[in-house]
Chain A
């Protein structure tokens, strides 16, 4: 084979460059600004004024930042566990039926095509304590099943999460099912003949085979849940009394209503901690465990 010249090897960049230009404009420069703005006092009108680390000093004393940070962590932990287990359960059930696989999958995925504002509105109707689901449960004498929805602050975040999960679990079902159908069925059959229990098969045979997909799906879900913004903003705006405040909603309201874009940017930076954890997990899985991601 002819050894290609240096120039030709650099040619690859010609393919990368056009997209990269968009990326630089929409991501890199704003990201750099996001790293600078936290050190400024900025009301959104005049030019940002450099003030050092004052914003961070204030942020560490701000009770709401703590609440929001914890909510972001909870949001992330929820998304990488319950919806994924839920989706895996559904995919596993689907892999065992013969008819209607596609129909089920498209129905599960169909909720993802709903605009978030519309979805939030619908769930708002469902949660209404005076005319929503609870009202009908009460009427039917099933009051003990009532879900407090948004009425009790400590349940509000989970209630928003349920709405968000309704909107977003379908894609994972499809991906996990695709992985399951590619599994080698003969191993499973053999284990069954050996008298292995259902859960042992699931744990020792099925799960290891779809591990790469599972890791990717979890990682993608985590990335998608990273902001914890849209559904929260639409349904509660961070209320009641900051019970559902996340770093993004707090950033948003500080920068818009509060006109403190500098301080808001400092708070947005707290999300980086969570990002670092993600990157660390990714790097660990890739390097130490040799999982191909």
Chain B
């Protein structure tokens, strides 16, 4: 009686085993092609941000042409959690795209390689803007190469403004007298959409705190003594709350449409203005009107506009990589003129001294870049929250500003919570010391 039982079991195992082998064969044949003694580097997927990240492809192509012995394998990380887990397991790509705040935390955990050696070897720091490099300095070590710089500005329908004799508003007073006029014409003053990514609401908060506190005040707000529930900030947030609820932002429907939808509303002349980042100006839009650019109006009654600047991200090297020197060599191609040019063409210039006149940029991009450099000369720039703010605060800014204007909470309560989070970040030593620069 024992025999049939065993026989059955044996047969079953054979079936399962056969299937398994079949699959394993399939898997290994997949790896087979690359095992020819080449060095393999895992690098970020160049399509991850669409056109915006296409400069990576240029960098990979240039590098591969000069280094046929190195094979680049593009990897997409689903999200930061996937990246965290991969880092913990020592399976992360050799080269990684990482936000400044995350890069710093991971550097502290020993996952990110300090790059000072390579900065010296290749002279990367020579032409780089100090404030951009600082975003990737932690404990005296430079841990990444800032990828771009970007600013928040006002984009408006120039033709519409001209036809109606509207002046570009410079501050809250002017803005508030202009918007009812626009609304009367049946046009939305601002086009905005956050349904696909509530994180973009962070742009408004950045614009508000920068213009109310000014450059120095904003530094203190992010990493110093100024509190998030400071009456001035409460005032500013309340202003936006009222502004939104008066229907000046996408007719009180911004939470139901996507960013792309809202930019189409603007391009179809259904809205007069947008708050936008310099990175989005390179998109191939063909509006039948002149696009105008200006610093976004100050949220102070009679203030001066400020352009908040920041670093969109950066490239870091995995501390556990087996081929750090090769990755650094690859990273050096980030400063190849063709890569620099591609970045600029997409409206996300590398943060280095560069004469962009030689690149023959699109008029929109050139205009926006000029706007930023002018603001820099006069010191009217600020700091974007997503590059420099306390991480826990940024997380709320990027997910939950809607609670304020949809009246699920009060501005006071919301800001009290932000202040608590900032204090917690202080206690946990997660603050980026912007006030020291």
Contact = CB atoms under 8 A, between A and B. Distances in A.
Contacts of B2: 7
Given A5-B1, A153-B406, A256 B79 contact: yes
B253 interface: yes
B399 interface: yes
Interface string A97-136: 0000000000000000000000000001001111100000
Interface in B169-214: 194-196, 198
Interface string A231-255: 0000011011111000000000101
A279 B244 CA distance: 46
Contacts of A128: 256-257, 261
Contacts of A87: none
A258 B395 contact: yes
Contacts, number: 99
Interface in A1-60: 4-5, 7-8, 11, 14-15, 18, 43-46
Interface in B393-410: 395, 398-400, 402-403, 406, 408
B270 A130 contact: yes
B9 interface: yes
Contacts of A151: 252-253, 255-256
A149 B256 contact: yes
Interface stretch (B55-63, B84-92, B323-331, B334-342): B84-92
A241 B88 contact: no
Contacts of B80: 256-257, 259
Interface in B94-125: 106, 109, 111
A255 B111 CA distance: 20
B5 interface: yes
Nearest to B261: A128
A101 to B, nearest CB: 38
B406 A8 contact: no
Interface in B225-284: 251-253, 255-258, 261, 265, 270
Interface residues of A, number: 36
A241 B5 contact: no
B415 to A, nearest CB: 16
B48 interface: no
Nearest to A5: B1
B8 interface: yes
Describe A's contact surface by its main secondary structure: loop
Interface in A134-159: 149-151, 153
Interface residues of B, number: 39
Nearest to A4: B1
B84 A239 contact: no
Contact of A259 (B84, B109, B258): B84
Given A43-B84, A127-B256, A241 B408 contact: yes
A275 to B, nearest CB: 25
Contact of B84 (A44, A130, A237): A44
B84 A241 contact: no
Nearest to A255: B81
Interface string B14-36: 00100000000000000000000
B5 A8 contact: yes
A151 to B, nearest CB: 4
A240 B404 CA distance: 11
B47 interface: no
Contacts of A43: 84
Nearest to B106: A45
The list of the 6 closest CB pairs from A to B, nearest first, reads: A240-B255, A241-B402, A150-B256, A256-B81, A151-B256, A241-B406
